[in-house]
A = this chain, B = another copy of it.
Amino acid sequence: SDELFLISGPCVIEDEKIMMTVAERLKEISERLGIKIIYKSSFMKDNRSSLDYYIGPGLEAGVKILAKVKEQFGFTLLTDVHYPEQCAPVAEVVDVLQIPAYLCMQTTLVVAAAKTGRVVNLKHGQFLAPENMKHPVKKIEDSGNDQIILTERGYTFGYNDLIVDPRSFYHMNKTGYPVVFDVTHAIRKYGIPSKDSKGGAREYLPVLARAGVAAGVDGLFVEAHTCPSEALCDAASQLDINYLEEFLKPLIELHNVEVKYRASAQELA
C-alpha cells in the first residue's frame, strides 16, 4: 500500500492499565488520521545496562497482555525476540516478530523467526553498512519466508551517538521490502541511563522523522507512552502520546509527496 503505516506503543510492557490506555489513544489517532497502526511493545529487554533495571514481564505474561490489546482493539501486534526458542510461542499470538538491531546477524535467531511463518521485522544493526542488510534478508528468504520488513534506527557515529544516513533508506528500499524508520531509538544517547532526561535528544525527532520520510519509507516506528518520564525503559526517548498526532501530520503529507515521486528518484539514480 502507498499509505504510511505506524508501529507504536510503549517501549516495554508495563502495567496493563498503561498498555490499554496507550492502545486506546493509538486507536483514536488511527481513526482520525486514517493511518494503519501496528501495536508494539517488548516482553523482555535483554540488553539493558544493568541487572537492576526493569526488563519486562517475560514472555508468557507479556504475550498475554498483548493478546488482550489485540482482542480489545484489533491491532496487528509486533514484539521482539532475543533467543530462538522464544519465536514459536510468541508467534502464536504476535503477528510481527522483530529481530533486535544488535542481533540482526545471529543466524539461528533469524532463521527461527523466519520459520514461524510470521512477518519478520529486521532491525538494521548499528554496525552494519546498510547495503549489507541484504544478507540477513536472504537468510529469511532461504528459510522460506518472504514477509519481511526492514527498520532503520540509526548507525554508530563516534561514541555514544547515532546518525541517521538518508542513504540507508535508498539501500534498504532496493531489497523490495517495506522499509520503516524507528525515530525514537535514533535519538537515544548511550552512556546516559534512559531514565535521565539527557539520555535522549527529543529535539531532533521532527527533523529526523521528516528527513527519513522524504528519503522514502513505508512506515514509521515511534515508541509512545502516556507519561514518558515515568516509563520503565527509554524514558528519555519515547514520545509523549499527546504529541503523536501533531507529530504525524506533516509526515503523512511528506510521505504522500514522496510516494508520488518515488519512481523519479530511481530514474535519476
Partner-B contacts on A (CB < 8 A): 46-51, 55, 82-84, 102-103, 105-108, 111, 125-132, 135, 138-139, 142-143, 155-161, 163-167, 169-170, 190-191, 202-208, 210-216, 243, 246-247, 249-250, 253-254, 257-258, 260-261, 264-269
Contacts and interface: CB of A to CB of B under 8 A. Distances in A.
Contact of A265 (B83, B210, B268): B210
Given A102-B127, A126-B156, A207-B167, A268 B254 contact: no
A111 B51 contact: yes
A24 to B, nearest CB: 22
A95 to B, nearest CB: 25
B47 A107 contact: yes
14 contacts: A47-B105, A50-B139, A51-B139, A55-B107, A83-B108, A102-B125, A127-B127, A164-B166, A166-B166, A166-B210, A170-B203, A206-B265, A207-B216, A210-B265
Contact of A214 (B156, B190, B254): B254
Mostly, the A contact residues are: helix
A12 to B, nearest CB: 13
A135 B53 CA distance: 12
A161 B164 contact: no
Contacts of A157: 157-159, 163, 165
A3 B264 CA distance: 22
A267 B268 CA distance: 35
A54 to B, nearest CB: 12
Nearest to A212: B211
A163 B163 contact: yes
Contacts of A214: 210-211, 213-215, 254
Among A49, A108, A215, A265, chain B packs the most CB atoms within 10 A around the CB of A215
